[in-house]
Amino acid sequence: MNVVAIIQARTNSTRLPNKVFYKLKGKCLLEHVVLRLKPSRKLNNIVIASTTNPNDDKVEQLANLMGIECYRGSEFNVLDRYYQTAIKYNADIIVRITADDPFKDYRIVDNAIEILEDGRYDFVCNNNPASFPEGLDVEVMTFSALEDSYLNAISDFQKEHVTQYIHQNKLKFKLFNIELDNNRSENRWTIDTIEDFNFASQVYENLYSENQIFLTEQIFQLIEDYPELKLINSSIPKSEMYKTI
């Protein structure tokens, strides 16, 4: 089975343009996302899926510098972009990754892939219902589930958010949702606003090391030791996708 992580990345973010190039400890946000996936035992390939918009030339340039493949497709039909990327790289299993999550944990990703493979699921996630911090989302699907979505998605929302067709048509697919015993979904560990970036900067300032990936438990411990950190972006509402699922 060829397992491919596809990282969707573009510069024209509505709320925080060029955020994928914002720097944490000297590296771009997109670089950190890639580096945090690389220790995975289950991924065969990591690919960046960007757009044909000329503004995203620099996304492809950064991918080249990192030695990561980059596919460029539709700017707003992200589902089409994923489907075309999956075809190009012969993906049997696709892991959806967003480029604004600098706290991704490769162990959570590997666990989701293992569950999908062992249980022969079509789709495995940890956000329906959500119990992980927003930003630790994982969504893993078979190529056939992605293709079904691609062929049948109708709404712009489904096409923009890739997996929404699956979430909204649960009876068509064999699904599994990973849940924490202790719900931590009130934590916001993604980057959509400058407050989110300020929170991430503080975490990286305290935990980042050039030679070792810091893990989820260390972030929770840091917040426990310094609870004021959680207040930095606590006023930012959850994403529309979280509200819709």
CA-angle at 22, arms to 243 and 61, nearest 5°? 105
Domain count, the chain: 1
**Each residue of 115-144: pLDDT tens digit?**
999 999 999 999 999 999 999 999 999 999
Look at residue 242 and tell me whether its pLDDT is greater than 90: no
Q: What is the percent of the chain with per-residue pLDDT over 90, rounded to a whole number?
A: 92
Look at residue 184 and tell me whether its pLDDT is greater than 70: yes
d(CA 101, CA 79) in angstroms, rounded, equals: 19
Q: What is the mean pLDDT of residues 146-152?
A: 98
CB 135 within 8 A of CB 101: yes
Amino acid at 223: I
Domain extent, residue 105, equals 3-244
d(CA 103, CA 40) in angstroms, rounded, equals: 14
Residue 14: predicted pLDDT: 78
CA-angle at 27, arms to 24 and 33, nearest 5°? 85
Residue 113: predicted pLDDT: 98
Across the chain, what does the average pLDDT equal?
95
pLDDT band at 243 (very low <50, low <70, confident <90, very high): low
d(CA 118, CA 113) in angstroms, rounded, equals: 9
Domain harbouring 200, CATH code: 3.90.550.10
d(CA 121, CA 116) in angstroms, rounded, equals: 5
